């Protein structure tokens, strides 16, 4: 990877993280996060009202693993906020919530 490619990737990652931070503020009141004990630590759950959107946890390497409901693929994240936001985004509610706020 060239320095330019590395710089472009770092810039894109920074923009994505900024978008996540801004979006999290916009949707936070509508969603609830709770946790339950698990054999390997805490399992966090993301709720929209009474609808479970997905779960996330921290693995042994310190990464956060997001598991949206009705999806086979687990997503690896750097922070718990990113895991929550990915679960919300995959559910389709993030786009609808942001669109309502823009309108």
76-93 pLDDT, tens digit each: 999 999 999 889 888 887
The structural domain count of the chain equals 1
Give me the pLDDT at residue 40, please: 81
**pTM summary value:** 0.62
Give me the pLDDT at residue 25, please: 57
Which of the residues in the chain have pLDDT under 50?
A: 27-28, 99, 102-103
For helices 3-27 and 93-102, what crossing angle results, to 10°? 70
What residues make up the domain containing 20? 3-102
What does residue 76 show for φ and ψ, rounded to 5 degrees? -95, 130
Express the helix, strand and coil content of the chain in percent, nearest 5 each.
50, 30, 20
């Amino acid at each position: 990877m060239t320095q330019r490619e590395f710089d472009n990737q770092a810039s894109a990652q920074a923009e994505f993280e900024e978008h996540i931070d801004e979006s999290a503020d916009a949707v936070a009141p509508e969603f609830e996060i709770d946790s339950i004990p698990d054999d390997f630590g805490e399992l966090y759950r993301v709720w929209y009202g009474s609808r479970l959107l997905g779960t996330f946890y921290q693995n042994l390497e310190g990464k956060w693993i997001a598991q949206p409901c009705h999806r086979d693929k687990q997503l690896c994240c750097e922070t718990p906020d990113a895991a929550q936001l990915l679960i919300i985004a995959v559910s389709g509610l993030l786009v609808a919530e942001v669109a309502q706020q823009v309108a």
